[in-house]
């Protein structure tokens, strides 16, 4: 590690994407914090990333910024832009680390940090950034191969001598969130004797959403097999969740529109299995050690579940890795051709064996899964 980075006490980490992107940066943030005793980490993040950051013990403070150069960012006034720049400048950060996916340009954020007077600035970069970055790792993706998003960010901080302390993602559930969750579930008749499956049906991009009518059929099968299903979602997803519950036609519980992010984390933590699209809750499950069935739309290959026992479900398609928020072909086959039977089978296969309901026949579900050998992809990794 260079002498300048060895004495950098106040570090600004820039991650302006969504919740899951912040979570996948936490092993690198942990490495940054542990490298220098007493180092303080502030995160510059979108509002969704900032909400997650408050559950990450390695992050000491958060500045919210809906950067106009980011997907989902806002068109802001020069006055608001200057307000955020001035706030960053006033904190006199010693260094900034800019986390991006390979398709993002780090230079707008680098210039922002440059204007704020941060002397050390690190990022992946495809071209020579000259004075905008004091330290930079040459961008090798995708031409040089693709890395998991967690590994990409670990490689970035390794460039300035910050070695991994632990490779698992970091997320901490506050005790009071567990208590609030218990009250929310008890009010709906939660039965702790039944295996609990948390189901998250939403995703920010339409291309990553499994069809709601398929979710309903899978949920019905899980409840009929003896599971207790708890659905989650934001206020904006409440109508969709309620429609899925009606279609399922079986008793389910719902936290949609009722639980905050900390309570969602508590629900994921106490679940036996999580069933989710490739969205923030899937990465939360990986961080909290909860087995996961990930309905993994083939929009990109870098965001698979990290270091957790899981099953990936998708249908292999020739148009995979399109990186699109909307299916460019219009057929959505990478998810639509995954059947509800496969989904239910995958969830049941991950239940702890003592928790398996007596009504579930392993021979029956194995027979159904055998028909889907192409579309059912299993992965398992439990390393620390």
User: What CATH number did the domain enclosing 108 receive?
Assistant: 3.40.50.2000
Please give the share of the chain, as a percent, with pLDDT higher than 90.
Answer: 78
Same domain, 87 and 204: no
Q: Is residue 139 part of a domain?
A: yes
pLDDT tens-place string over residues 165-215: 999 999 999 999 999 999 999 999 999 999 999 999 998 888 888 999 999
Domain span holding position 12: 3-158
State yes or no: pLDDT of 379 exceeds 80. Answer: no
Same domain, 132 and 179: no
Of 126, 158, 190, which residue constitutes the final position of a domain?
158
Q: Is the dihedral of CA 186, 222, 52, 58 positive or negative?
A: positive
Same domain, 143 and 180: no
Q: Is residue 362 part of a domain?
A: yes
Q: Are 103 and 124 in contact, with CB atoms under 8 Å apart?
A: no
Q: Which tops the pLDDT comparison, 113 or 359? A: 113
Three-state DSSP at 14 gives strand
Q: Are 359 and 329 in contact, with CB atoms under 8 Å apart?
A: no
Same domain, 229 and 150: no
d(CA 82, CA 112) in angstroms, rounded, equals: 10
Return the HEC string of 45-61: ECHHHHHHHCCCCCCCE
Same domain, 73 and 210: no
Q: Enter the tokens of residue 260.
A: 């905050």
**CB atoms closer than 10 angstroms to residue 348:** 24
d(CA 260, CA 244) in angstroms, rounded, equals: 21
CA distances from 177 to 126, 193, 236, 264 (A): 42, 21, 21, 9
Same domain, 7 and 111: yes
Q: Are 365 and 244 in contact, with CB atoms under 8 Å apart?
A: no
Q: Is residue 166 part of a domain?
A: no
Please give the share of the chain, as a percent, with pLDDT higher than 70.
Answer: 92
Same domain, 219 and 116: no
Of 127, 158, 189, which residue constitutes the final position of a domain?
158
Same domain, 197 and 299: yes
Contacts of 120 (CB under 8 A, 6+ apart): 4, 5, 8, 94, 95, 96, 134, 135
Q: Are 211 and 288 in contact, with CB atoms under 8 Å apart?
A: no
313 sits in which H/E element = strand 309-313
Q: Are 349 and 272 in contact, with CB atoms under 8 Å apart?
A: no
Q: Is residue 163 part of a domain?
A: no
pLDDT tens-place string over residues 256-291: 999 999 999 999 999 999 999 999 999 999 999 999
376 pLDDT band, cuts 50/70/90, is very low
Q: Enter the tokens of residue 209.
A: 């959403």
Q: Is the pTM of this model over 0.85?
A: yes
Q: Are 238 and 256 in contact, with CB atoms under 8 Å apart?
A: yes
State yes or no: pLDDT of 373 exceeds 70. Answer: no
Q: Which has the closest alpha carbon to 113: 157, 151, 158, 65? A: 65
**CB atoms closer than 10 angstroms to residue 81:** 15
Residue linked to tokens 């969830």: 347
d(CA 316, CA 338) in angstroms, rounded, equals: 10
Instruction: Look over the chain and give the mean of its residue pLDDT values, rounded to a whole number.
Output: 90
362 pLDDT band, cuts 50/70/90, is very low
Q: Is residue 41 part of a domain?
A: yes
State yes or no: pLDDT of 381 exceeds 70. Answer: no
Same domain, 139 and 239: no
Q: Is residue 167 part of a domain?
A: no
363 pLDDT band, cuts 50/70/90, is very low
Q: Are 108 and 44 in contact, with CB atoms under 8 Å apart?
A: no
Q: Are strands 95-98 and 10-15 parallel, antiparallel or unpaired?
A: parallel
pLDDT tens-place string over residues 235-247: 999 999 999 999 9
DSSP code of residue 62: E
Residue linked to tokens 């989904």: 343
Same domain, 154 and 214: no
Residue linked to tokens 């009071």: 176
Q: Is residue 215 part of a domain?
A: yes
Q: Is residue 190 part of a domain?
A: yes
For the chain, how many structural domains are there in total? 2
Among 21-35, 64-78, 98-112, 156-170, which stretch is predicted with the lowest mean pLDDT? 64-78
Of 111, 129, 158, which residue constitutes the final position of a domain?
158
Three-state DSSP at 234 gives coil
Beta strands in 68-115 (DSSP E): 95-98
Same domain, 7 and 145: yes
Same domain, 95 and 181: no
């Amino acid at each position: 590690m260079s002498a300048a980075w060895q004495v950098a006490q106040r570090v600004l980490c820039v991650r302006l994407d969504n919740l899951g992107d912040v979570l996948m940066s936490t092993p690198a943030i942990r490495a940054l914090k542990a490298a220098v005793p007493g180092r303080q980490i502030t995160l510059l993040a979108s509002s969704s990333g900032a909400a997650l950051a408050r559950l990450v013990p390695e992050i000491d403070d958060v500045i919210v910024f809906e950067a106009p150069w980011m997907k989902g960012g806002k068109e802001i006034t020069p006055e608001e832009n200057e307000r955020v720049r001035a706030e960053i400048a006033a904190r006199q950060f010693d260094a900034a680390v800019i986390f991006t996916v390979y398709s993002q340009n780090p230079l707008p954020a680098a210039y922002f940090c440059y204007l704020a007077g941060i002397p050390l600035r690190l990022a992946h970069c495809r071209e020579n950034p000259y004075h905008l970055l004091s330290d930079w790792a040459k961008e090798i993706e995708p031409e040089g191969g693709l890395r998991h998003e967690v590994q990409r960010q670990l490689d970035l901080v390794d460039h300035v001598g910050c070695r991994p302390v632990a490779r698992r993602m970091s997320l901490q559930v506050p005790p009071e969130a567990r208590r609030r969750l218990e009250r929310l579930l008890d009010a709906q008749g939660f039965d702790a004797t039944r295996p609990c499956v948390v189901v998250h049906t939403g995703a920010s991009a339409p291309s990553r959403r499994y069809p709601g009518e398929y979710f309903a059929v899978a949920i019905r099968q899980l409840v009929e097999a003896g599971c207790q299903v708890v659905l989650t979602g934001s206020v904006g997803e409440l109508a969709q969740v309620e429609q899925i519950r009606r279609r399922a036609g079986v008793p389910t519980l719902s936290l949609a529109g009722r639980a905050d992010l900390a309570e969602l984390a508590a629900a994921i933590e106490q679940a036996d299995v999580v069933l989710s699209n490739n969205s923030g809750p899937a990465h939360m499950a990986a961080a909290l050690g909860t087995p996961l069935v990930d309905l993994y739309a083939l929009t990109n290959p870098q965001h698979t579940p990290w270091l957790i026992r899981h099953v990936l479900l998708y249908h292999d398609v020739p148009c995979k890795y399109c990186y699109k928020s909307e299916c460019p072909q219009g057929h959505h086959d990478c998810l639509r051709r995954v059947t509800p039977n496969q989904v239910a089978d995958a969830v049941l296969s991950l239940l702890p064996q003592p928790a398996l309901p007596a009504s579930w026949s392993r021979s029956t579900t194995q027979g159904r899964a055998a028909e889907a050998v192409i579309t059912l992809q299993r992965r398992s990794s439990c390393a620390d």
